[in-house]
Structure 1
């Protein structure tokens, strides 16, 4: 049954916005109950507070930035001046904790040794390394709202503002937007310095890894067969990117550039860190799987090699999904709603992807039940050929015509599978016809000759081994042979079969017992046969 795409989209939207349904209300709570309102400046967590503050500073909207201060001053102009002073201090060497390391919990970090309502998020510029602290408090209730309807918010503490006020500063040293070209709230020169540092750092680590691999390649007589070299070859490129990100985060914080550029670059450079980790894990999985497959292939454990291939693909898919979720979290996409929606969204996905799920289950069945292995010659339904690959979705078979037939694993597991490669012996069951006209004694001699040929060959099974007169055929006396050729290789069995047939033919010729061929006896009757008692003329064709 196909589910309409519109229904699937509706289910996903329903899962993505659980708060829009009255069914989400707790039992016993009336539908008109007022829920906690969302803070208009998004200050519910330390991460969102710092992100909102940086956005306001990037826009040079110091009045907006002042809403992130826990100031007792009622003069908005003086508070906005404090915001400008904070940006000047941060540009002059202050630091902020990178976005991904900030707590996204409304309660903040509980194990940092600070009071529960205090969070450290950076340091001010200048001497002393004064910490930048956030404090959690409940905002004044607005008209028409009760105090309980307002969420707790995080703002820059009054202690930090007092330390900022006590710092000597020159607000005129801040370059105005009219004097320098700004990109996303920071001078273009600062963006260039940070991007150049990232490129130079990655280039240096990549060159170092290339030199290490080149040196090891010269030292190894056969580097392709060396396990340590293969693992280093897989690990060093992503490690060079990861180390470059770490070095950039250490050195980038010390560059004399605008805090907006620094914080933005440090936020999004985390994407490269997750890409490097996922790249490293995937390359290591490939290296380990290649080494295991090579060893299993040398021991002719082809089914285990197929399981390794399937496990490699599944692990890589899981790693890619985890990296994707981590990257979304790094760039600030709220994934909690998406994770909460997996229940209903998973049902919608299952309904829309029934065949895909069926094929995945079929692939597990094929690997677990092991009806075939990669390299086996088999017949699946009406497809005859050699198995080339058992994947997560389908199995590929190369036919004798050299075409490739792809069968979904769901259908594959449900079909009748005949595996020729698992035969331990091959049936030898010819029917040998001798000519009519020989006596019963001569026929017994022919049967004995065939029995002797079979008994003399070392690769013919003793049990069963039958040579019997099977039938009076239309043109011959049919002798049926039933036994097995005891070799596992198909090509070798064909050679032995040929030897047996030639030996039987030679012995029968020597005994004067010719092999019959299709023949027909025709009796010709003259036109006056009814009046003439003479026998008809016999002609053999």
Structure 2
């Protein structure tokens, strides 16, 4: 699983990298809108509304090799008053050279904050200890201390605001990379793939693969040492924990190692930042994988303890909570991956408030079944393993899920009953009986006289009173009527057991004792008979 997950992420990266880049172009200035006091501000064509969108669009421009477009993301590249088009200073070679020096500074060991950690709020991150109009998005590998790369929030006359690389950072770049160190032919001899030299892609992917192999071998060695150290390793909770945790944990450590090693490498910032973004997706997958395995391991331990303590309802609650926790973890991981990809999950989550009503109307049965499952767990009319009759279904409860309950019938068929129906249906739980009823009617033949009947009743009462499995409080043996073909004797008693198979064995022993007593007394068991009298007339 770890191999497939990792190489799927790498394959996604390569597909994104090998796709043909957009043609380099400079956005043309739109026609100026008619001045009106109530005119709505137009969206920024360069996507400089938030720190995240600014950094993403700037990196795309650098990857496309469009340094004229990239110059629009620097505070010194425009006058800050026209949000739609660069002014004359941007269109000259000096402004484009500024973007080149910025890329060169990052390629020489500078770093940018990973995509997922960049603020997607138009106001930026307000609790970072910086002024409200500044946002740190990375650092330059300067000596002796790294120089922070800052974005500056510029307010325009139309009421909008834009995030651009600050003048302070622009000056630091000019000092860090002199203009004579960057020429337009620097990359002419390099084979560029996705905006970066192919050797940089190869180096970074090689680091990731090497880290993956190292941690995979290390996890295999740890498991091998545990197997040799523990005599019964399969039954050991320590071994089972490491066996479940090491595959996703090793995958997460691969991502951490890649972050640490590649952060200061003198490779293309485009290649580095792109792979770090996809590595963030792999990290979320590894964390979700680890959490799911941890939930399963904890649930198995708790369920085993509940079964040993015969707390079957508690085991059902653990199973229900395990499923709920896994659903929540998958939802969190899914949202995190979407956010790392760049989809606006905030809008989607807000839309759930509006779509919640429509979802509730369309999923009434699902909600009813979910509420029914909560009711079953709270009221505990049945538990897993109970023999019960639910409506007209008789069998053993095998599973109480979030939507339905599974019942195994005596015919070995599996019946699924929606929890919404089960919570409102009639449930007869045979497993909750504290004793089993012995209620039989014995028919003896009509040739039994009154004295024999009295002696028979006394002997039968003695048999029940001597039986250790019978609860003495409510024992009854009575001659209760004349039937069509027999004299009826009724037995009423309770067996001292909660097990149905044990009650059958006790009943069998008692019936044999009754049969032997009837043979001893010479009294026969009646069966349906009919006596027909024929009268004939004699003729002379």
Q: Same-fold call, TM > 0.5?
A: yes
Structure 2: distance between partners of 1:86 and 1:484: 91
From 71, 74, 78, the equivalent of 1:69 is: 74
From 148, 159, 165, the equivalent of 1:156 is: 165
In structure 2, runs of 5+ residues without a counterpart are 1-36, 79-87
Q: Deviations over 1:353-380 (max 9, x none)?
A: 1111111111111111111111112222
- The answer to whether the 8 A contact 2:320-2:402 is kept is yes
Normalised by the length of structure 1, the TM-score is 0.86
Q: Does 1:88 align with 2:129?
A: no
Give the deviation of 1:89 after TM superposition: 2.1
Structure 1: distance between partners of 2:345 and 2:99: 31
Aligned runs of 1:44-443 on 2, under 5 Å?
44-71=49-76, 74-75=88-89, 76-77=91-92, 78-124=94-140, 129-139=146-156, 141=157, 147-148=158-159, 151-166=160-175, 167-168=177-178, 169-172=180-183, 175-176=186-187, 179-443=189-453
Structure 2: distance between partners of 1:376 and 1:175: 77
In structure 1, runs of 5+ residues without a counterpart are 1-31, 142-146, 533-541
How well do the aligned residues superpose, as a CA RMSD in angstroms? Answer: 2.1
Structure 2: distance between partners of 1:33 and 1:231: 64
- The answer to whether the 8 A contact 1:449-1:508 is kept is no
Q: 1:35 to 1:467 in 2, by over 3 A?
A: farther
Q: Does 1:38 align with 2:43?
A: yes
Give the deviation of 1:182 after TM superposition: 3.3
From 499, 504, 524, the equivalent of 2:534 is: 524
Q: 1:249 to 1:174 in 2, by over 3 A?
A: farther
Structure 1: distance between partners of 2:356 and 2:212: 40
Q: 1:239 to 1:173 in 2, by over 3 A?
A: farther
Which moved further from structure 2: 416-425 or 316-325? Answer: 416-425
Give the deviation of 1:126 after TM superposition: 6.0
Which moved further from structure 2: 201-210 or 103-112? Answer: 103-112
Q: 1:348 to 1:33 in 2, by over 3 A?
A: farther
Structure 1: distance between partners of 2:448 and 2:265: 108
- The answer to whether the 8 A contact 1:92-1:126 is kept is no
Q: Deviations over 1:390-444 (max 9, x none)?
A: 1111111222222211222112222221111221111101100011132222222
Which moved further from structure 2: 454-463 or 159-168? Answer: 159-168
Q: Any idea what SS the aligned residue of 1:461 has?
A: strand
Q: Deviations over 1:36-82 (max 9, x none)?
A: 54322211211111111001111111121111111156422221221
- The answer to whether the 8 A contact 1:90-1:258 is kept is yes
Q: Deviations over 1:178-209 (max 9, x none)?
A: 65443322233322222221122122112212
Q: Deviations over 1:323-374 (max 9, x none)?
A: 1111111221111111211211111111111111111111111111111111
Q: Match for residue 501 of structure 1?
A: 511
Q: Match for residue 472 of structure 2?
A: 462
Structure 2: distance between partners of 1:209 and 1:484: 60
Normalised by the length of structure 2, the TM-score is 0.86
Which moved further from structure 2: 502-511 or 70-79? Answer: 70-79
Structure 2: distance between partners of 1:387 and 1:241: 40
Give the deviation of 1:257 after TM superposition: 2.2
- The answer to whether the 8 A contact 2:147-2:172 is kept is yes
- The answer to whether the 8 A contact 1:449-1:504 is kept is no
Q: Any idea what SS the aligned residue of 1:475 has?
A: coil
From 442, 450, 466, the equivalent of 2:460 is: 450
- The answer to whether the 8 A contact 1:475-1:517 is kept is yes
Q: Match for residue 473 of structure 1?
A: 483
The alignment covers a number of residue pairs equal to: 490
Q: Any idea what SS the aligned residue of 1:307 has?
A: helix
4+ residue runs over 6 A deviation: none
- The answer to whether the 8 A contact 1:88-1:174 is kept is no
- The answer to whether the 8 A contact 2:383-2:397 is kept is yes
Q: 1:219 to 1:428 in 2, by over 3 A?
A: same
- The answer to whether the 8 A contact 1:108-1:119 is kept is yes
- The answer to whether the 8 A contact 2:108-2:265 is kept is no
Structure 2: distance between partners of 1:453 and 1:37: 99
Structure 1: distance between partners of 2:58 and 2:362: 43
Structure 2: distance between partners of 1:463 and 1:174: 105
Structure 2: distance between partners of 1:107 and 1:136: 8
